[in-house]
Amino acid sequence: MIPRYTRPQMGRIWEEKEKFQRMVDVEIAVCEELAARGEIPADAIEAIRTKSTFDPGRIREIERVTKHDVIAFLTNVAENVGPASRFIHLGLTSSDVLDTGLALQLVSAAGLIIDALSEFQDTLRRRALEHRRTAIAGRSHGIHAEPTTLGLKIAGWFTEFERAEERMKSAREAVRVGQISGAVGACPHIPPDVEEAICRRLGLQVDPVSSQIIQRDRHAEYMTALALIAASIARVATEVRHLQRTEVGEAEEFFSPGQKGSSSMPHKRNPVVSEQLSGLSRLVQSNAMAALQNVPLWHERDISHSSVERVILPDSIILIDYMLHKLNDLMDKWVIYPERMKENLARSGDLLSSEHVMLALVRTGLTREEAYGRVQGPAMEAWAEGTGGFRAKLAADPGVGGVLGEESFANCFDLEAHFKNIDAIFERVFGPHFK
């Protein structure tokens, strides 16, 4: 991934030297377990522990000859360890080291993503409570529907990212597995009980049945969890973009001092962060498809997945980490314009209470179809005229105003009637002490 989208904390996990270090960790764990069982001499294990170093440049140099990355890695380590290196990698295949080392990287990266998800939920909780009763036009198909609150909208995002965190935790456990099972997974040289002990040393579970590799449905689960996070980020970003449109103007991204919106138009304040997030989301989601296509490999293994994972795993993880922190900052500073929300609500006048009137008529004994018809006619007239005279038309209609009592009719247009259950929903989302 390009530096522009890479936070140092996450970038370090995917540096070349970190990959090699995890591979060293795996090789040392194998040797330590074998030494504990008396299969490697004490002086040899001490040399392996202290001298198993590597030089990425030297590894690349060797690989240009061997055309094999793991052999190049082992050759370089052996150059540093010396005679004791004969005990390194005994009974292992390349994927034992690669897949188990990758699991360590994936688990570490998932931890950072989970932390970012938790932090973002804290921000969403605060903004949702802040705007719990900030009235805004609810929209379906982009058209005013009924009033809602901005806080309720944000509370919906909060629950979505709660689910994202749970999925990410589950995905972390799915990849928290290692293997030391040999060339086709039959454990001919390292018995299963030793394999399990080695994985425990590394903080991993053992893959119950591997082939030459850890099965790629685990990695696909991890990638789809990332893709769903990306989709949820895009959902929030899309809302931010829509609300910032000039014709809407209900909220906008924070515009910092000295920031420029356009090279040609000095007046521009564009939703550039949310647009960036919408775009990057597409990339992560598309990468998940590649991960799914990595699941069906030939027999015990081919390497068609390997080149793909070198790109999609670090790139997607680095992007999600970046996107979550960018979105958190956006939401933390998101500028809200409640008065503009009220103005936009007023553009539809009393039309947004049409369902309340219909249901009030139903309660008088009309069928739903009859009530719908009596309300729709005046609604369509008011819509066409653009006069906002919906309420007056209903009041003058004997089939509506003449049927409903004055109090009942007035209650239909009370904005608070739309919000009477907001607190109950917030209790369901944030608990009974949310205030």
Three-state secondary structure string covering the chain:
CCHHHCCHHHHHHCCHHHHHHHHHHHHHHHHHHHHHCCCCCHHHHHHHHHHCCCCHHHHHHHHHHHCCHHHHHHHHHHHHHHHHHHHCCCCCCHHHHHHHHHHHHHHHHHHHHHHHHHHHHHHHHHHHHHCCCCEEEEEECCEEEEEEEHHHHHHHHHHHHHHHHHHHHHHHHHHCEECCCCCCCCCCCCCHHHHHHHHHHCCCEECCCCCCCCCCHHHHHHHHHHHHHHHHHHHHHHHHHHHHCCCCCCEECCCCCCCCCCCCCCCCCCCHHHHHHHHHHHHHHHHHHHHHHCCCCCCCCCCHHHHHHHHHHHHHHHHHHHHHHHHHHHHHHCEECHHHHHHHHHHCHHHHHHHHHHHHHHHCCCCHHHHHHHHHHHHHHHHHHCCCCHHHHHHHCCCCCCCCCHHHHHHCCCHHHHCCCHHHHHHHHHCCCCC
Q: Is 433 labeled as catalytic in the residue annotation?
A: no
Choosing from 141, 267, 299, 433, which is the catalytic residue?
A: 141
- Measuring CA to CA, which residue among 26, 314, 14 is closest to residue 178? 26
| Residues linked to residue 140 through DSSP beta bridges, in sequence order | 143
CA distance 59 to 65: 10
CA distance 388 to 248: 19
Cα-Cα-Cα-Cα dihedral sign, residues 141, 147, 148, 153: positive
Choosing from 118, 170, 262, 304, which is the catalytic residue?
A: 262
Inter-residue contact 214 to 106 (CB < 8 Å): no
Alpha helices, H only, 294-405: 304-333, 338-347, 354-363, 368-385, 390-396
Q: Is 418 labeled as catalytic in the residue annotation?
A: no
Catalytically active residues are 141, 262
